[in-house]
Amino acid sequence: MKNVTKLRPEAPQSSDVLTEILRSGAQALLQQAVEAELQAYLSRVNSLDRPPAAIRNGYSPERAIQTGIGAIPVQQPRARIKKGFEGIEQFSSKILPPYLRRTKSMEELIPWLYLKGISTGDFQDALQALLGADAPGLSATTITRLKASWSDDYEQWAKRDLSTKRYVYIWADGVHFNVRLGEDGERACTSSS
């Protein structure tokens, strides 16, 4: 067993130190920002002329926010309204809304990748190549659902009223095929409407 040859070499594990520093810095800044947001909320609802109406109440479970530099784990601080102060607004972060999972730049990346030709089943590999191995993949079902939403948005956009608008020019796009049709050698052109 001394002369064992591996048939398939293992892929080298690359460690991008700069990206890790950026992620840890982003995580620290995000955590500081939501902590400051909670402190501002507590200062606003707890006036000095009465007992405190809201108190700090630990953290929500940690979640990862998918960003352009990969997943950033963060814990959302919580506040609890004391009894007798039920009319006071609950703390809700403007920086980190409750159901946020991806930054806006990531939301814009997904349709861009699709428009550039990434197939429905290849999104997981593409996102891992761009964002690192810990990037959550998007299933083919999720991409199909997103495409349906984009189609609905496009339909609404295509049917909007333009009667009150004045445009200097209209741009039309089409695909020209290399196949020549007929005796005059004209190339076929198609467009979607």
**Can you give the pLDDT at residue 127?**
75
Residue boundaries of the structural domains of the chain: 17-101, 106-158
163 pLDDT more than 50: yes
**Can you give the pLDDT at residue 36?**
92
For residue 93, the 8-state DSSP code is -
Alpha-helical regions (H) of the chain: 17-45, 104-115, 123-131, 140-158
Contact 156, 173 (CB under 8 A): no
Is pLDDT larger for residue 64 or for residue 131?
Answer: 64
Percent of the chain residues past pLDDT 90, beyond the cut: 5
- pLDDT tens, residue by residue, 102-112: 888 777 777 88
The rounded mean pLDDT for the chain is: 78
Report yes or no on whether pTM surpasses 0.85: no
Residues 6+ apart with CB under 8 A from 178: 187
Return the CA Rg of the chain.
26
- pLDDT tens, residue by residue, 12-66: 444 678 888 888 888 898 899 999 999 988 888 887 667 788 888 889 888 888 8
Contact 74, 95 (CB under 8 A): no
Least confident of 1-5, 93-97, 186-190: 1-5
Return the half-sphere exposure (C-beta side, CA atoms, 13 A cut-off) of residue 99: 0
**Can you give the pLDDT at residue 4?**
46
Distance of alpha carbon 31 from the chain centroid: 19
**Nearest residue to 72 (alpha-carbon basis) of 80, 62, 82:** 62
Contact 41, 90 (CB under 8 A): no
Is pLDDT larger for residue 150 or for residue 7?
Answer: 150
Least confident of 58-62, 83-87, 182-186: 182-186
Least confident of 40-44, 77-81, 130-134: 130-134
Look-up of token digits 């000095």: 48
**Can you give the pLDDT at residue 49?**
66
